């Protein structure tokens, strides 16, 4: 109930932040109407601007704001909202272009007033921002470079839009409105300062050192970190943190990884990482004693959120097992007695990460472990192929709908398993997954 | 499930913004009610009307 109330209050704050500028417009003295479409376009421009500001709040990673929803969903929401904001700003421009083209003035920046050029440049950067985010992979932009570009474009588009509104001055000329508008924009600027300067500074005060780098099956490495001069991080099993390795926290070269270690131990934090991209391929070269910074913990993908569940079913593919093994290790340390199932899909038997440890965990937990291989070796007695409804029906208990389900793996696998679970009449609210691969 | 809610709230925001923007524009540009005919024009109006009927 507390989570629901918290969620409702955060959604209300969000709606207020988006709608405040429209309310500000109606306060006190107002310029006379200039036609429906003109004023509609103005309102859309202000709302689009407010939505752009809200983006900085959504991605600021305030743990209290993230707690009821999960930070992955806030990023997901950020994506939708950015497309909406961009559409409203574009509509603002388009309506004026159709309704009163003379109001736009000259296109040439040398002849046009600076604030009109600022408005056009802001719109252009905003479109670029959305395009490079929605199609980053198709455009082959590396993640680290994309993040730098994303932040740069977002801040520049926002500042140019601010300049445009201030320069045009329409609707914010009355002193009360000017104060309110200045206060509102100052809030966003302070927020940007907090995220980009203050937060990295507080991370710098809590460094970690690489204690061990361990090779795992399936082209994966476990990076073990020990807190340096502080007590470490308390987290819920299944959660994740943003990791900065060998760089200053101001460099914005950070990547999200799930904790694979037990939450019962905060003095040694472990992440199991598969070699997939530029950053992850460099994990094997990490040396003991190197510095690391963590921003976290985040996420709602945790058994701790469901203390009354009669049992848990985990379904993972490949290195998606990392947060699940983190949960199993924690449950074993807590002497958990509830029944657990782990359906683990991999391509080959020799690539099954945590294979030996999972066997050992079976001795400490009431755990049914089901390996599913797409390329089984000769004489394989276990399950093979993909994780289908028939397979789940075979390995799960009759009252499957009573348990909480945790899925982690490549998106096609998660989508397919979700559909299969719906076929087995597992309620949607009992299926939990973390959305990592968003850009 | 959480994805669905995120989509719904984003959609709701979009609709709310469009609605409030339209309300703002209407408020700024109220539709004037048709002015009552000036005295002396009534006969002319009824004449036009009767002509139309024919």
Residue B51: pLDDT above 60?
no
A327, part of any domain: yes
Chain B residues whose CB is inside 8 A of the A44 CB are 17-18, 21
DSSP strands (E only) in A259-402:
269-274, 291-298, 312-317, 340-346, 367-373, 383-384
What are the CA-CA distances from residue B12 to residues A13, A126, A389, A429, B27 (Å)?
A: 15, 22, 34, 21, 22
3-state secondary structure A383-415: EECCCCHHHHHHHCCCCHHHCEEEEECCHHHHH
Cα separation of A98 and A124, whole Å? 18
Q: For residue A213, is it left (φ>0), alpha (ψ between -120 and 50) or beta? A: beta
Which residue is closest to A38 within chain B, CA to CA?
A: B25
- Please count the other Cβ atoms lying within 10 Å of the Cβ belonging to residue A154: 20
Q: Any residues with CB less than 8 A from the CB of A153 and at least 6 apart, and which?
A: A125, A126, A128, A129, A132
As a whole number of angstroms, the longest Cα–Cα distance in chain A is 83
A438, part of any domain: no
Q: What is the pLDDT of residue A410?
A: 84
Q: Do A196 and A212 share a domain, yes or no? A: no
Q: Do A316 and A233 share a domain, yes or no? A: no
B10/A47 Cβ within 8 A: no
Cβ atoms A373, A355 nearer than 8 A: no
A36/B26 Cβ within 8 A: yes
Q: What is the pLDDT of residues A293-305, one digit of tens each?
A: 999 899 889 999 9
The CATH number of the domain where A317 resides is what?
A: 3.40.50.80
Size of interface A-B (CB pairs under 8 A): 76
Least confident of A211-220, A228-237, A352-361, B41-50: B41-50
Chain B residues whose CB is inside 8 A of the A30 CB are 28
What is the β-pairing status of strands A404-408 and A312-317? parallel
Instruction: Give the tokens for residue A125.
Output: 């950067």
Domain of residue A225, residue span = 208-298
Chain B residues whose CB is inside 8 A of the A47 CB are 17, 20-21
Q: Do A42 and A129 share a domain, yes or no? A: yes
CA-derived radius of gyration, chain A: 25
Contact of A8 with chain B, judged by CB distance below 8 Å, is answered with no
Q: Do A186 and A234 share a domain, yes or no? A: no
Cα separation of A408 and A372, whole Å? 15
Q: Do A132 and A275 share a domain, yes or no? A: no
Least confident of A118-127, A128-137, A168-177: A168-177
B3/A47 Cβ within 8 A: no
Q: What is the pLDDT of residue B53?
A: 42
Q: Do A198 and A214 share a domain, yes or no? A: no
Distance from the A367 Cα atom to the nearest Cα atom in chain B, whole angstroms: 27
Q: Which residue has the tokens 């348990």?
A: A403
A297: cis peptide before it, omega within 30°?
yes
The CATH number of the domain where A277 resides is what?
A: 2.40.30.10
What are the CA-CA distances from residue A255 to residues A211, A217, A275 (Å)?
A: 19, 22, 13
Which residue is closest to A10 within chain B, CA to CA?
A: B9
B13 vs A437, which has greater pLDDT?
B13
Cα torsion A71, B11, A305, A353: sign: negative
3 state SS of A235? coil
Q: What is the pLDDT of residue A400?
A: 80
Facing A77 at nearest CB: one of B1, B10, B29: B10
Contact of B17 with chain A, judged by CB distance below 8 Å, is answered with yes
Distance from the B15 Cα atom to the nearest Cα atom in chain A, whole angstroms: 10
Q: Which residue has the tokens 């950070």?
A: A254
Q: Do A238 and A264 share a domain, yes or no? A: yes
A439, part of any domain: no
Contact of B19 with chain A, judged by CB distance below 8 Å, is answered with no
Give the residue among A343, A345, A344, A339 at the shortest CA–CA distance from A312: A339
3 state SS of A111? coil
Cα separation of B40 and A152, whole Å? 69
Among A248, A265, A298, give the residue marking a domain's end.
A298
DSSP A259: B
Cα separation of B46 and B35, whole Å? 17
Question: How large is the average pLDDT for residues A399-411?
Answer: 89
Length reported for chain B: 54
Most A-contacting residue of B29, B31, B32 (CB-CB within 10 A), to test interface: B29
Instruction: Give the tokens for residue A138.
Output: 């198709």
A180, part of any domain: yes
Q: What is the pLDDT of residue A57?
A: 86
Q: What ipTM does this complex have?
A: 0.76
Cα separation of A70 and A55, whole Å? 16
What is the β-pairing status of strands A383-384 and A367-373? parallel
Q: Do A392 and A406 share a domain, yes or no? A: yes
The CATH number of the domain where A47 resides is what?
A: 1.20.120
Q: What is the pLDDT of residue A437?
A: 64
Least confident of A12-16, A75-79, A87-91, A249-253: A249-253
3 state SS of A213? strand
Cβ atoms A238, A258 nearer than 8 A: yes
Q: Do A54 and A185 share a domain, yes or no? A: yes
B36 vs A358, which has greater pLDDT?
A358
Q: Any idea what the Cα angle at residue A302 is, between residues A344 and A5, rounded to 5°?
A: 145
Distance from the B26 Cα atom to the nearest Cα atom in chain A, whole angstroms: 6
Instruction: Give the tokens for residue B54.
Output: 């024919």
B6/A36 Cβ within 8 A: no
Among A150, A182, A203, give the residue marking a domain's end.
A203
Contact of B48 with chain A, judged by CB distance below 8 Å, is answered with no
Cβ atoms A249, A200 nearer than 8 A: yes
Instruction: Give the tokens for residue A232.
Output: 């470490």
Contact of B26 with chain A, judged by CB distance below 8 Å, is answered with yes
Q: Do A137 and A197 share a domain, yes or no? A: yes
pLDDT tier for residue A115 given thresholds of 50, 70 and 90: very high
User: Domains in chain A: how many in total?
Assistant: 3
Q: Do A404 and A339 share a domain, yes or no? A: yes
Q: What is the pLDDT of residue A253?
A: 80
Q: Do A9 and A119 share a domain, yes or no? A: yes
């Amino acid at each position: 109930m507390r989570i629901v109330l918290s969620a409702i209050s955060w959604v209300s704050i969000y709606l207020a932040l988006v709608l405040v500028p429209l309310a500000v417009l109606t306060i006190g003295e107002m310029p006379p109407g200039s036609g429906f479409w003109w004023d509609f376009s103005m309102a859309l421009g202000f709302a689009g601007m407010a939505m752009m500001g809200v983006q900085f709040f959504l991605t600021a990673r305030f743990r209290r704001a993230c707690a009821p929803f999960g930070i992955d969903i806030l990023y997901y929401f950020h994506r939708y909202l950015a497309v909406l904001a961009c559409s409203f700003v574009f509509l603002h421009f388009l309506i004026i272009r159709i309704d009163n083209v003379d109001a736009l003035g000259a296109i040439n920046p040398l002849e046009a007033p600076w604030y009109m050029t600022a408005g056009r440049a802001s719109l252009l950067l905003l479109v670029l921002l959305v395009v490079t985010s929605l199609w980053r992979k198709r455009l082959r932009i590396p993640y680290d470079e994309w993040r730098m570009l994303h932040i740069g474009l977002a801040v520049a588009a926002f500042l140019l839009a601010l300049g445009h509104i201030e320069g045009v001055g329409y609707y914010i000329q009355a002193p009360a409105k000017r104060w309110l508008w200045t206060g509102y924009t100052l809030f966003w600027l302070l927020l940007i300062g907090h995220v980009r300067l203050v937060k990295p500074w507080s991370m710098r005060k809590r460094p970690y050192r690489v204690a061990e780098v361990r090779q795992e099956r399936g082209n994966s490495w476990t990076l073990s970190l020990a807190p340096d001069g502080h007590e470490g991080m308390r987290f819920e099993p299944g959660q994740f943190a943003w990791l900065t390795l060998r760089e200053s926290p101001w460099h914005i070269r950070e990547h999200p990884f799930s904790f694979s270690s037990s939450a019962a131990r905060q003095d040694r934090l472990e992440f199991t990482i598969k070699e997939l991209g530029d950053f992850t391929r460099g994990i094997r070269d990490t040396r003991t004693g190197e510095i690391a910074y963590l921003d976290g913990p985040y996420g709602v993908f945790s058994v701790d959120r469901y203390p009354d569940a009669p049992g848990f079913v985990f379904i993972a593919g490949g290195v998606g097992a990392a947060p699940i093994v983190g949960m199993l290790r924690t449950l074993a340390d807590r002497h958990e007695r509830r029944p657990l199932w782990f359906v683990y899909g991999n391509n080959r038997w020799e690539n099954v990460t945590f294979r030996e440890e999972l066997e050992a965990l079976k001795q400490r937990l009431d755990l049914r472990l089901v390996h599913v291989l797409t390329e089984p070796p000769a004489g394989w007695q276990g399950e093979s192929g993909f994780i289908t409804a028939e397979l789940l029906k075979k390995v799960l208990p009759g009252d499957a709908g009573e348990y909480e389900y945790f899925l982690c793996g490549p998106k096609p696998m998660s989508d397919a398993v979700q559909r299969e679970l719906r076929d087995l009449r597992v309620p949607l609210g009992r299926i939990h997954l973390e959305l990592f691969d968003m850009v | 499930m959480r994805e669905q809610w995120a989509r719904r709230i984003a959609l709701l925001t979009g609709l709310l913004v469009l609605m409030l923007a339209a309300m703002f524009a209407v408020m700024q540009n109220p539709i004037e009610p048709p002015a009552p005919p000036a005295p002396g024009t009534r006969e002319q109006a009824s004449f036009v009307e009767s002509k139309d009927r024919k």
